[in-house]
Amino acid sequence: MIIGFLREKDIFENRSMLLPEHVSSIIKLGFKILVEKNYAKKLGLEDEMFIKVGAEVKSESDITSLSDIIIKISGKNLDSYKFKDGTIVITAFFDKDNDKLFKLKNDNNIKIFGLNYLPRITRAQAMDVLSSQSNLAGYKAVIDTAYEFSKALPMMMTAAGTITPAKYFIVGAGVAGLQAIATAKRLGAVVSATDVRLASKEQVESLGAKFVFVDSDENLETEGGYAKEATKNYKKKQEELIKQTVKNQDVIITTALIPGRKAPLIINEEMVLSMKPGSVICDLATSQGGNVAFSERDKVIEKNGIKIIGYSNYASRTSYSASSLLTKNIINFLTLLVNKDSKTIDIDYEDEIIKGVKI
Alpha-carbon radius of gyration of the chain: 22
Select which of 131, 203, 274, 295 is catalytic. 131
Select which of 10, 25, 120, 297 is catalytic. 120
pLDDT of residue 229: 65
Tell me, yes or no, if the two domains 2-117+319-357 and 130-313 fold the same way: yes
Helical H segments across 47-98, by residue range = 47-52, 60-66
Cα first-last separation, the chain: 22
Active site residue 321: no
Active site residue 125: yes
Architecture of domain 2-117+319-357: 3-Layer(aba) Sandwich (3.40)
What is the pLDDT tens value at each position of the chain, 359 positions in all? 999 999 999 999 999 999 999 999 999 999 999 999 999 999 999 999 999 999 999 999 999 999 999 999 998 888 889 899 999 999 999 887 777 777 777 777 899 999 999 998 999 999 999 999 999 999 999 999 999 999 999 999 999 999 999 999 999 999 999 999 999 999 999 999 999 888 889 999 999 999 998 776 565 556 655 566 667 777 788 889 999 999 999 999 999 987 778 899 999 999 999 999 999 999 999 999 999 999 999 999 999 999 999 999 999 999 999 999 999 999 999 999 999 889 999 999 999 999 999 98
Task: Output the DSSP codes for 168-192.
Answer: EEEE--SHHHHHHHHHHHHTT-EEE
Active site residue 144: no
Select which of 226, 297, 320, 351 is catalytic. 226
Q: Quote the CATH superfamily of domain 130-313.
A: NAD(P)-binding Rossmann-like Domain (3.40.50.720)
DSSP 229: P
Active site residue 128: yes
Cβ–Cβ < 8 Å for 358, 54: no
Active site residue 342: no
Select which of 59, 61, 80, 125 is catalytic. 125
Domain residue limits, the chain: 2-117+319-357, 130-313
pTM to 2 decimals? Answer: 0.90
Cβ–Cβ < 8 Å for 177, 171: yes
pLDDT of residue 209: 97
Select which of 128, 144, 195, 283 is catalytic. 128
